[in-house]
Amino acid sequence: MVESISGMDHGSSKSVPSSNALTDGKDKLFQHAFDYAAIGMALIALDGTWLKVNPALSNISGYSSAELMKTDIAAIIHADDLKSLQRLHSRLLSSRKDTYNKEIRCYHKQGHIIWGLLYVSLVRDEAGAPLYTIAQIQDISARKQLEQKFSSLIEYNPAGIISLDMHGRMNGLNEAMEQIIGYKSYELMDKPLKTIIAGEREHLHIFQHAVEDKEQYNHDITVTHKDGSLIHLGAKDVPIIVDGTIVGFYIIARDITEHRMTQEKLGAIQQELIDVVSKQHGMTYKFKKIGDRFIHTLCDGELVYRLGYRPEFVVGKELSDFPVESGSIAQIEECYNRAWSGEETVTYEGQKNNLTYLIHMKPVKRSGKVVEVIASCIDISERKRAEEDLRATKEMLESFINNTPDAIDVVDLNGNVVQVNRAFEKIYGYTEEEALGKQLLIIPEDKTEEKDMLYSKLTSGTDIENYETTRLRKDGSLLYINLTLSTIKDANGKTIAYAAITRDITERKKTEELLRKSDRLSVVGQLAAGLAHEIRNPLTSLKGFLQLMQAGVPSQEKYYEIMISELDRINFIVSEFLIIAKPQVTQYDNKSLNRILDTVIQLIEPEANMKNVEMQVDMGLKPVLVRCSEIQLKQVFINLMKNAIEAMPQGGQLKIDVDNGEQDVLVRIADTGSGIPKERLSHLGEPFYTTKEKGTGLGLMMCFKIIESHQGSIDFRSQLHEGTTVEVVLPVVQPYLK
């Protein structure tokens, strides 16, 4: 057979080993099949050189038979396939297998790549030794191009694609799917799809649907990302059909996680909106005008039920279907027409079932045309009742303000009068018309600094209560007043005005002044007896010395110093007496408290001696400096010491102690008199309240006022039949005089 093949004229050939296995007829048949085969065929020596090629191989490669015969098979095989082909050839020669096949790439004469399906059979001699190989090459370039097109369609598809076999095992993922689920294709190869499916379902329904109707099946699936997060996919299942038989499936999917989350959020928002509308205390509804009728398209809210309706009863009904209070149907229909005509805000107030409600209507426009009207309705029954209560309260307050005996005025931040009551007109003499919008000249010139001080306190947030001062009436006369000032603020806490309440205390002040003078004269009268005795003693001495001098007693010079000293004492006593008796202008200066007390003690001491009262004084060695009105403090201590002496009609002890502190000084005046009942202690200092049989209580009242004006305090402690202790505390200028 080999010899006959080599002797053929068609096609080029090299010598072929002889064989007696074929008859001449069979040789011709083989040669005919070889030459006219539709696929490329060749006889190849064991070293890879061509022994014989047919025309079909020349057509596939583009080389003529003669050109091929000058080369070996390696000349047209792609380098990447040549090595694997050589391994297969070596394995063929060394094993009992006589065939192998492989898809290879070949070079066309023009330079492009040709894909071929290569089948190789080994021919052996009668002893089994290899002689040569027979190669069949089928051009599959068109099929490979189609496969590459489909592969490119899958590989570069922006949608994720998973390839499954009929058992649901994954045998391929494109790059888009790898990015979606985080796994590489090799990590999931041959694993069941349920490996990455989230939830408890083991299989999808894709197989039964695809097998039954061979149609695409759309569905949503949730898979678990490699990092553990859940990915929602919108999937389409496409059967893979070969020769009319389903051999697998493609799952083509897109990541809809964000879309799903957006839908869920939108659904939650929509549900929340529905809940808000349905659970609101008021009512929301919409209507459209169809023809000449207003039809309600939405209605919900708690107020719907309180008005006696239900949402399903309202929707689809027109305005005339609802019973409303008599005479109001025309009014509300007019409001509907106004809103439908485009008026931006239409309001209507009505009543039903003892409820007062307020409706706000607003048109909804598209392209400038009203397409519907949305309305909100709220229950204003409480507000109406509150307004009525407020009106009644306002009337009551106005009645109170206008009928109170105290003057009330309100001024703005610029000092212009905003409101006054009738008492203001009566006390200050200005009518309401004269006062409104003006800054009244009611503050005396000497109170300018006081005005600034009061204004400063008000602006800093401090209200002024029961402040005693003076003001001017319209006719210029002076008023003594008790003043209370406060700020008026808006809802945001911002000061918008000031209010003043004025109480006329002019008559009270005159009475107090008369009582003060009366009390002072009373004190002066009571001191007179003791002072007369105190003055009489030095006068007696002076008279005796003058008589001695008149008699011509020698060495009269030694009496001059004594006489001058006695005259100084008389002058001091008279001066202090006049200070107590004569009204003085109040003036505060830094004074020695010890000297003030020493002076008072000298004035009181004669009376104490007359009443058999022993005085014990302990003022320390270092006098204390206080800022005070000297005459007022003397008046206080004279009153307190006189009271102590009068509490001991049978005699006793009067102790006066001074305790120095860092910030203040304590003057303690204690007697051993009859004491004061506990229930009366709290009333001490009140006018006309006294424990004396013929007293007025005004002296002690003045003591409290004077010490209070000096920023100090007075405290009484007493036990019946044991005595009374008065403690006066005053602030010091400095702890000790140096």
Average pLDDT over residues 21-44: 78
Q: How far apart are CA 458 and CA 443, in angstroms?
A: 17
Q: With a cut of 50, say whether residue 708 has pLDDT above it.
A: yes
Q: With a cut of 60, say whether residue 705 has pLDDT above it.
A: yes
CA distances 196 to 200, 225, 230, 260, Å, are 11, 8, 10, 19
Cβ(182)–Cβ(225) below 8 Å: yes
Task: Identify which has the larger pLDDT, 136 or 573.
Answer: 136
Average pLDDT over residues 18-37: 68
Q: What is the pLDDT of residues 73-118, one digit of tens each?
A: 888 999 888 888 888 888 888 877 789 899 999 999 998 999 999 9
* DSSP 8-state class, residue 519: H
Q: How far apart are CA 695 and CA 2, in angstroms?
A: 167
Contacts of 108 (CB under 8 A, 6+ apart): 61, 62, 114
Q: Which of 6-10, 120-124, 511-515, 627-631 has the lowest mean pLDDT?
A: 6-10
Task: Identify which has the larger pLDDT, 566 or 292.
Answer: 292
Q: What is the pLDDT of residues 298-355, one digit of tens each?
A: 888 888 888 888 888 888 888 778 766 545 677 888 899 999 999 988 998 888 878 8
What is the chain's length? 738
Q: What is the pLDDT of residues 219-238, one digit of tens each?
A: 888 899 999 999 999 888 88
- CA-based angle 698:699:705, to the nearest 5? 85
Q: What is the pLDDT of residues 602-620, one digit of tens each?
A: 878 877 888 899 999 998 7
Q: What is the DSSP string of 155-198?
A: HT-SSEEEEEETTSBEEEE-HHHHHHHS--HHHHTT-BGGGTB-
Q: Which residues pair with 163 in a beta bridge?
A: 172, 250
- By DSSP bridging, strand 283-290 and strand 293-300 are antiparallel
- For residue 723, give the 3-state DSSP assignment: strand
Q: How far apart are CA 350 and CA 377, in angstroms?
A: 10
Contacts of 274 (CB under 8 A, 6+ apart): 300
Q: With a cut of 80, say whether residue 577 has pLDDT above it.
A: no
Q: How far apart are CA 446 and CA 472, in angstroms?
A: 12
Cβ(197)–Cβ(176) below 8 Å: no
Residue 41 pLDDT grade (very low, low, confident, very high; cuts 50, 70, 90): very high
Most confident of 10-19, 452-461, 556-565: 452-461
Q: With a cut of 50, say whether residue 406 has pLDDT above it.
A: yes
Cβ(428)–Cβ(440) below 8 Å: yes
Task: Identify which has the larger pLDDT, 327 or 72.
Answer: 72
Average pLDDT over residues 155-159: 83
Looking up tokens 């008000």, which residue turns up?
A: 458
CA distances 100 to 82, 123, 374, 502, 636, Å, are 14, 13, 82, 124, 137
Q: With a cut of 70, say whether residue 22 has pLDDT above it.
A: no
Closest to 726 (Cα-Cα) out of 651, 660, 675, 663: 675
Q: Which of 58-72, 146-160, 296-310, 559-573 has the lowest mean pLDDT?
A: 559-573
Q: How many helices, marked H, and strands, marked E, lie in the chain?
A: 23, 27
Q: What is the DSSP string of 239-252?
A: EEEETTEEEEEEEE
* DSSP 8-state class, residue 158: S
Average pLDDT over residues 144-153: 78
With b meaning 16 or more CB within 10 Å and e meaning fewer, what string describes 435-452? beeeebebbbeebeeeee
Q: What is the pLDDT of residues 500-540, one digit of tens each?
A: 888 888 877 776 666 655 555 555 555 555 555 556 556 65
Contacts of 557 (CB under 8 A, 6+ apart): none
Does the CA dihedral 14-18-22-24 come out positive or negative? positive
pLDDT of residue 306: 85
- By DSSP bridging, strand 589-592 and strand 245-255 are unpaired
- For residue 202, give the 3-state DSSP assignment: coil
Closest to 47 (Cα-Cα) out of 133, 124, 123: 133
Q: How far apart are CA 406 and CA 417, in angstroms?
A: 17
